[in-house]
Structure 1
Amino acid sequence: MATNKLIVDERQTDLGNFMVGRLLPFRKKRQVGPFTFIDHMGPAKMGNGKYIDVDQHPHIGLSTLTYLFEGEIEHRDSIGNTQIISPGDVGFMTSGSGVTHTERTPAAKRNKQEFLMHGYQIWVALPKDKEEMPPQFDFYPSRDIPNWTSGSLKLKLIAGNAFGKSAPLQGYSPLFMVDISASQPTTLNLRGQLEGEVAFVIVKGSITDQEHRITAGQMLISKTDDQCEICLAADTQILLFGGLPLAEERFLSWNFVSHSKERLQQATEDWKNKKFPQVPFDNTYIPLPSYKK
C-alpha cells in the first residue's frame, strides 16, 4: 500500500443500551482535514425500554454533525433549539465559545415497538478565528440536500463542495462529506473532484484499493486526493469526507477541541464548576470522566 494511506479499524465501545464504534481520532492520524472525531452509532435495535438518553454535556471549539440512516434523535441545546433529526437529515451544532446539549430518543418513539438506530456523529474542528464564535444550531432536512445518480452510483452531498456541486451546509473551512452507494461494482476516480485530505468510511459492503480490501467497520485514509481511485463492490455504501487541514494543531480533551491546551483546561474547570449555559428545563449533568494517570 502507498505510504500516504492508512486503514483504520473501528473500535467498539459498549454504552449499555448501545454500541458505538470510534474511527477518529486514530493514533497515527488525529484529523482528516478539519474532521477530528467520528463515532459510528449502531446499527442496533431499540425500543421496549432501550433508548438513547445522553444527558446534558458541553462542547467548545467544534461543530457536531449528526447524520442518520435509521431511527431518530431529538436534539436540545442551551441556545433554546429543539429538533428531531430523522434519516437523511443533517443536524449541525456549532459550539464556539461554549454550548450544552442533550440527545434523546423522541417521545413518539418511546413505545413497545422496536426500531433500528444507525448513524454517525462527527466533530468538525473550527478555525482558530471561529473557536470563540457564538454557538448556533443549523438543521438541513433531507429534501434540501443535493443528491444525484452517476451510472450505478447514488451520491448525496451532505456538506461542503465536491463533484462540482455545493451543499447548503458549508461549515467554516474548506471541507466535504458525501454519502455514496453503489448498486453494481464501480470504480470511483476522485481526481479533480474535491480538495484536501480524503477518508472513506465503509458503512456496508467493501472497497478495494490496489490489492487491499477494506470492509464495513473500517476506514481508509489518504493524505492527498491526487491518487484516490477506489473500486466499490456491489451493494456498498461509503461516507467520503475530508478537506483542507487547519493551520494549527488541534488538541482534544473529553468533549472539547481547541488549538490551546490552556483553553481546554479552562473549559474543564468551567464544566466542573457548572459555569456553562444550561439546556432549558433540563437539570441533568454528565460529570467529567476520571482519567487514570
Structure 2
Amino acid sequence: MIKIEGKKHDLGGGMIIYRILPDKKKRMVGPFCFLDHMGPIIIKVNQNTDVRPHPHIGLSTLTYLFDGNLVHRDSVGSVATISPGEVNWMTAGSGISHSERSPDQDRTISRPFHGLQFWVALPDGQEDISPSFFHYTKDQIPVEENEQRKMTLIVGEIFDLKSPVKTYSPMILAMIDAKKKFSFEFNFFSFEIAIYVVNGVVKYKEQEITEREMMVIDENELAKIEVNKGTKFAIIGGEKFMNSRHIWWNLVSSSKDKIEQAKKQWKEGSFPMVPGEKEFIPLPEYK
C-alpha cells in the first residue's frame, strides 16, 4: 500500500489547490493520472476562479464540485456552467483547448468554492480520437443510499448502479458520504484502486487516511476499510495501462513526439482555440 499526501499550491487570486496525482510514489492509479483538490476556500468579492484557455491531448478531464460554480468553454464550441453534484467530462483526444471561469453573476458576491478535478489518460489506440465534451446534471448521476452512507457513482459500475458517463477504458469513481461510522469491504479484481479522503477519517490496515490524503490499496485484495461518521471520500481506479504515459504541463501521451508536436502547435497558435476567448496561457518556458 502507498500513502500520498496532497501538496499545497497557491495559484493566486485566493485559489488554493492540493495536488495528489501525479506523485513521485505513484504516477497513476489505473488510468487516473492527475488529481487536484480545489479548496475549500471563500472567494471574495471581485476575486475569481478564472483559468485562461490552455491545451490538452491524450486524456479526459473530469470536474466535480461540492461548492461553487464554473463556466466551461472549449474549442469544440461547448459552453456549460457546472454546479455542485454535476459532472463535466471533456475528452481531449487529438487536441482540445478550454477555459474555466467564474460566472458573471458570482463575481460581485463572496462565495464558497470546493471541488475535485481529475485527468484520465486515454488507452492505447484511442489517444487520438476526436475531442468531445459532455455535461451531466445532478439527477443523471446515480445515487444509492442507506442508513449508513450515501454513494454517488460518478463513473463506472458498482452494485446495481451504472454511471451514464462514457469512458474509454474500465474504471470507477464513486463518492461516499458517511452518515454514521461503518465498515466496508470491496474487491475490484483487475482494477488498481485508491481511497481519497476529502474530509474525515478512513482506516485501512490500522492506518488512518485523513483529509487530502490518498491510500493506494494492495492489488487483488479484498480490502476492508472503517469509515468515521461525517467522512466524505472517493474510491477511484481502473485497469492499469501496459504502456506508461508521459505528462508535460497539460499534455498526456504515450508518445513524446506527440507532446512535442502539441507544444509546437500551441506556441505557434495553430492548436484548436476557444471561440470568443481573447486570452490564453502561454506555453511554459521553464519545462
TM bin, normalised by shorter chain, reads over 0.9
**Contact 1:179–1:238 (Cα < 8 Å) also in 2:** yes
Task: Give the structure-1-normalised TM-score.
Answer: 0.95
Structure 2 residue runs without a partner (length 5+): none
**Contact 1:79–1:136 (Cα < 8 Å) also in 2:** yes
Shift of 1:95: 0.4
Question: Could you list the per-position Cα deviations for residues 116-150 of structure 1 after superposition, in whole angstroms to 9, with x for gaps in the alignment?
Answer: 00001100000121111110001111111100113
CA distance in 1, matches of 2:85, 2:241: 28
CA distance in 1, matches of 2:114, 2:8: 14
- Select 2:3's aligned residue among 2, 7, 11: 7
Shift of 1:81: 0.5
Once structures 1 and 2 are overlaid, which stretch shifts more, 56-65 or 224-233?
224-233
Identity in percent = 40
Match of 1:47 in 2: 44
Match of 1:237 in 2: 232
Alignment of 1:122 onto 2:141? no
- Select 1:177's aligned residue among 173, 176, 185: 173
**Contact 2:147–2:179 (Cα < 8 Å) also in 1:** no
RMSD over equivalenced CA pairs, Å: 1.3
Alignment of 1:278 onto 2:273? yes
Question: Could you list the per-position Cα deviations for residues 34-73 of structure 1 after superposition, in whole angstroms to 9, with x for gaps in the alignment?
Answer: 0000001000101311111110100000000000000001
Match of 1:261 in 2: 256
**Contact 1:190–1:225 (Cα < 8 Å) also in 2:** no
- Select 1:89's aligned residue among 73, 86, 99: 86
- Select 1:75's aligned residue among 55, 72, 75: 72
Give the alignment of 1:6-25 within 5 angstroms.
6-17=2-13, 18-25=15-22
**Contact 1:161–1:170 (Cα < 8 Å) also in 2:** no
**Contact 1:73–1:84 (Cα < 8 Å) also in 2:** yes
Match of 1:146 in 2: 142
CA distance in 2, matches of 1:107, 1:40: 24
CA distance in 1, matches of 2:46, 2:231: 32
**Contact 1:162–1:194 (Cα < 8 Å) also in 2:** no
SS at match of 1:272: helix
CA distance in 2, matches of 1:164, 1:220: 26
**Contact 1:186–1:232 (Cα < 8 Å) also in 2:** yes
Structure 1 residue runs without a partner (length 5+): none
Task: Give the structure-2-normalised TM-score.
Answer: 0.97
Amino acid at match of 1:35: F
Alignment of 1:159 onto 2:155? yes
Amino acid at match of 2:140: D
Shift of 1:223: 4.3
CA distance in 2, matches of 1:105, 1:25: 26
SS at match of 2:156: strand
- Select 2:35's aligned residue among 9, 34, 38: 38
